[in-house]
Amino acid sequence: MSSKAPQKRLASPGARGHLGGALFFLAAFTLLVVLIHLPFLDLPFYWDEVGQFVPASLDLFQHGYWVPHMATPNVHPPGVMAYLALVWRIVGFSIPATRLAMLAAAAVALWLTFLLAIELGRGVGGAPAFSAVALLMASPLFYTQAMMAQLDMPAMLFTLLALLLFLRGHLRSAALASTALVLVKETGLVVPLVFAIWLIAERRRREALWFALPLLALGGWLLVLFRATGHVLGNAAFTDYNLLFPLHPVRVSIALARRCFSIFIENFHWIGWIAVALAWRRAKLFRSREWRIVAALGVAQTLAVTVLGGATLERYLLPVLPLMYIAFAVAWAGRPSLATRIGQFALVAGLLLCLFWNPPYPYPYENNLAMVDFVRLHQQAADFVERSYPGERITTAWPLSIELRRPANGYVKRRMAVQEVPGFRTGDLQPLDRASLGPFVLFSREWDAGWDLRRLPLVAPLMHKFYGFQPQIAPADLERLLGLRLVVRWSERGQWIAVYEPALPGYVR
């Protein structure tokens, strides 16, 4: 690494004009982000929103609990929860207020992507900053996560802010942004760690000390968590699943393969990587200090969320997405041609297609608009059971169980009695007492396109051994096992939800 580093830039006479232009683009991006999400501002909360982040935010908003009571305490810092509690304190709690608050954060992240693309695209022609913004806005993952009350979009925001400040030589400000980052999401600690190592390699050890601040801040939160729960990460189950479970060589290998597929292949990303490879070969475009820092940060972030986190969700890669799209945009700008324009159009079109198209393999619904289908189906079922079985106990699995218990999630008007089962596998349902069973709601908890690699004879035993995978019970088997009959069923683009009740002569709805 070179020991040379850029000095802080002095304010120019046109700084006020540059600030005005920057604020104009921030306002424009905010308006655009809100407009394209207007149909979903009242969308009820989904999956981890109902299970963790919204109840934790409500605990802070209503009772001042920094360590949640309605949700299981874990290592996640309270930054996003504090932000939502502040918004609700100002405008009141509602689903649209929550969606708009998260969209505001997404708009700032989009604006920072624009500014970072300008920084990294200096010396090339064209308008790579606009191309990078277009790619990010077209990304299915960005679109869905932008409106969701989860940690990864805010983590993306502060990652971009810290990186932009670091590249501009504002090290103290970068350290403060990194501190905010680790108070949003604990895996963000990899960002100040990369910065500190880089500065130490450049023999700037005194400046590297600033990046101990995020570690101290995260340590303070862990101390608060330990005093409240007796466990440094909040609970033992969370630690086992997210720190120990992923470290088996087979699971690490599969997780790494998934990460590589998501980054290099999925959503037509391979089109952009071809452009980057060609740009790397023909010029020194990506060999500057700035791009080497970006590459180091992207690789470190990817590895961190590969070995940490049992779920291996694609949303954990959100902080990497803008860096990747900026690289694509800069590669295209370096060599404008008809082929470049075709590549740009093809990638944007492919990203938009993947927002609506469900792939033929298992994936989290939250990766595209399948999450909206999931929520709408649950709305229909929740409305039906609330009207049809007002005083009865509903048997179902999470997250519908918590959607029925808590009206704040947007599915029911009053709390319903629920018997929660661990899942819809045969073993989960066998202990149920048929004699006391009332209405039962079965739904597609995982995407199943009809062909699933995990069910192949050679693969299924490995998936069961290392992940505990078992397919959920078929509707016909459910009816035979529990003595139920189908009452009503809804379906939407491959997902479905069905309400059953006991097939008994004396049972009357």
Per-residue confidence of the chain (509 residues) as pLDDT tens digits? 444 555 554 444 455 667 777 889 999 999 999 999 999 999 999 999 999 999 999 999 999 999 999 999 999 999 999 999 999 999 999 999 999 999 999 999 999 999 999 999 987 877 899 999 999 999 999 999 999 999 999 999 999 999 999 999 999 999 999 999 999 999 999 999 999 999 999 999 999 999 999 999 999 999 999 999 999 998 988 888 888 888 889 889 999 999 999 999 999 999 999 999 999 887 778 889 999 999 999 999 999 999 988 888 999 999 999 999 999 999 999 777 888 899 999 999 999 999 999 998 889 999 999 999 999 999 999 999 999 999 899 999 999 999 999 999 999 999 999 999 999 999 999 999 998 999 999 999 988 876 667 777 777 777 777 777 788 899 999 999 999 999 999 999 999 999 999 987 766 66
Q: Closest Cα partner for 309 from 75, 472, 56, 109?
A: 75
Q: To 10 degrees, the CA torsion angle through 143, 145, 149, 155? A: -120
Domain contains 11: no
Domain contains 180: yes
301 and 190 belong to one structural domain = yes
120 and 181 belong to one structural domain = yes
450 and 350 belong to one structural domain = no
201 and 340 belong to one structural domain = yes
57 and 197 belong to one structural domain = yes
Examine the fold and report which residue of 357, 388, 412 is the final residue of a domain before the chain moves on.
357
Amino acid at 35: L
Domain contains 136: yes
Domain contains 12: no
CA distance 145 to 355: 12
Domain contains 10: no
What residues make up the domain containing 498? 367-502
The reported pLDDT for the residue numbered 1 is 45
300 and 400 belong to one structural domain = no
Domain contains 387: yes
The reported pLDDT for the residue numbered 379 is 98
The reported pLDDT for the residue numbered 125 is 75
383 and 345 belong to one structural domain = no
Residues 6+ apart with CB under 8 A from 61: 84, 85, 88, 89, 93
347 and 415 belong to one structural domain = no
99 and 238 belong to one structural domain = yes
376 and 348 belong to one structural domain = no
In the block, which residue shows the tokens 């900053």? 129
CA distance 120 to 294: 9
Give the H/E segment covering residue 344: helix 338-356
Examine the fold and report which residue of 313, 335, 357 is the final residue of a domain before the chain moves on.
357
Examine the fold and report which residue of 293, 323, 357 is the final residue of a domain before the chain moves on.
357
| Whether 380 contacts 490, CB under 8 Å | yes
pTM of the predicted structure, to 2 decimals = 0.93
Domain contains 4: no
Domain contains 508: no
If one counts the domains in the chain, the total is 2
CB burial of residue 184 (10 Å; 0-12, 13-18, 19+): buried
305 and 287 belong to one structural domain = yes
CA distance 103 to 336: 33
347 and 231 belong to one structural domain = yes
